Amino acid sequence: MPISQRLRAAGLFVLAAGLGTGCDLGTKTWAAGALAEGPQAIAAPWLSLQLAYNRGTAFSVFPKLGDALPMMAVLALLISVGVAIYLWRHRPDAPTSIALGSIVAGALGNGYDRAFRHAPGGGTGVIDFVSVRLPGGYLWPTFNVADVLLVVGVASLFVLSVRRSHATPQTSTA
């Protein structure tokens, strides 16, 4: 791969990771102040902004990590470094670089919160603030921009992978 393509892929990755992390941390800082007085309805009853501190994993699968919470921050950093190494060694195309940057942005944003964001009652926690109520009254777990970046990044990698597998001509072994 020519150096210009390598630099383009790295630049897109850094841009996606930097902008995504900045947007995530900025919206969380905004939410901590603006939503401290209570939730704000956006499209009642389906969508509201409501401040919550998640002391567990994504979507509160494991709701209380306690002393293991900082380890999740270290894991996020290790994953981010691993993705950057992968990017440098494999030099993916632009869409893959952006998808990887989105994943790293989500990991760094939530990792930062797990390590440094003070939560009420002591300890740290990830700020979640987007609340969605689905038809039938089901309440989706509250989430944040980092969660969206992670989901979109992983989904994009999946779609890109499927597209590539269908674009590659299959050879017959007969």
Token pair for residue 55? 């002391």
Q: Give Cβ neighbours of residue 118 (< 8 Å, ≥ 6 apart).
A: 124
Annotated catalytic, 93? Answer: no
- Residue 140 sits at φ, ψ, to 5 deg, of -70, 145
Annotated catalytic, 67? Answer: no
Specify the 3-state DSSP secondary structure of 52. strand
Q: How far apart are CA 172 and CA 163, in angstroms?
A: 20
Place of tokens 């002393």: 67
Q: Give Cβ neighbours of residue 126 (< 8 Å, ≥ 6 apart).
A: 53, 54, 55, 110, 113, 114, 117, 144, 146
- Exactly one of 24, 67, 93, 128 is catalytic; name it: 128
Token pair for residue 9? 């892929």
Catalytic residues: 128, 147
